[in-house]
């Protein structure tokens, strides 16, 4: 992508009412349409969507394929795609505006900063779809299902909030299962190493991102893990189901 093209996309998303951005990882401030400073923490449903409906995040959303698919599937819920790459968010945000998907928004920030922008219990559910598996052991703490990230999620998810991982990476799949077995932060609810080998566990799993379609063409199997977080913001254990 040319620098000019990328700069144009950055200018475009600055004019989009469904994109909220954080420019400085050391500063929790947010900007919205036309660069106006805004606040959203604890008020996403009311201020961004004008309702009090449940919120689902898609982390490392890229172009927002899953965010858009979920929003079409569940118009009674709110969906926020989160990614640091503005040029990627530009695509999904533009499609949402073209389709008048008023239950879709995008947040441009680093995922490790996520707790700065959501109140405790403000998020009902998290989807992580085909993230970078960071295969080198030295980068294991950058995997989005590492304990460090689970702690961030626990600060914003409601009590026993659900996290979904969909991946083609056997390494990330196994890492996630090992992490869940070794920590008291979360409880495994379901896992499958080849989701299309039988009837789908959830209708949402039928949604396919650009990368998933590519992986399937290459003959890769798609894996899925669902778990709930057992810790609240103050560190107290949630009640078991």
Six token digits for residue 139:
């980068």
**Cα separations in angstroms, 43 against 51, 93, 96, 104, 191:** 10, 20, 21, 15, 33
Q: Give the Cα-Cα-Cα angle 224, 228, 233 (nearest 5 degrees).
A: 140
Residues paired with 108 in a beta bridge = 21, 83
Dihedral of the CA atoms 45, 56, 10, 111 (nearest 10)?
Answer: 110
* Tokens 């927002």 found at: 64
Angle of the 65-73 helix axis to the 86-98 helix axis, nearest 10: 30
Six token digits for residue 97:
């505006």
Confirm whether 132 is a catalytic residue.
yes
Helices marked H in 31-133 — which ranges? Answer: 65-73, 86-98
Q: Give me the catalytic one of 12, 132, 184, 239.
A: 132
Q: Give the Cα-Cα-Cα angle 231, 164, 66 (nearest 5 degrees).
A: 135
E strand or H helix that includes residue 182: helix 170-182
Six token digits for residue 125:
């559910």
Catalytic residues: 132
């Amino acid at each position: 992508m040319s620098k000019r093209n990328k700069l144009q996309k950055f200018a475009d998303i600055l004019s989009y009412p469904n994109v909220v951005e954080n420019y400085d990882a050391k500063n929790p401030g947010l900007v919205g349409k036309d660069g106006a400073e805004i606040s959203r923490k604890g008020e996403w449903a009311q201020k961004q969507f004008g309702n009090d409906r449940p919120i689902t995040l898609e982390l490392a959303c890229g172009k927002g394929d899953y965010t858009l698919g979920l929003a079409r599937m569940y118009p009674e819920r709110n969906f926020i795609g989160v990614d640091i790459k503005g040029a990627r968010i530009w695509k999904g945000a533009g499609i949402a505006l073209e389709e008048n998907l008023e239950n879709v928004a995008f947040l441009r920030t680093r995922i490790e900063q996520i707790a700065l922008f959501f109140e405790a219990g403000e998020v009902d559910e998290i989807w992580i779809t085909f993230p970078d598996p960071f295969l080198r052991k030295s980068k294991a703490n950058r995997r989005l299902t590492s304990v460090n990230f689970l702690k961030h999620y626990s600060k914003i998810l409601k009590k026993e909030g659900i996290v979904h991982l969909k991946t083609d990476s056997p390494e990330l799949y196994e890492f996630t299962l090992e992490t869940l077995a070794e920590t008291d932060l979360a409880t495994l609810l379901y896992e499958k190493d080849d989701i299309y080998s039988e009837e789908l566990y959830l209708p949402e799993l039928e949604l396919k991102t650009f990368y998933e379609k590519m992986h399937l063409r290459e003959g890769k199997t798609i894996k899925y893990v669902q778990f709930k977080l057992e810790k609240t913001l103050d560190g107290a254990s949630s009640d078991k189901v």
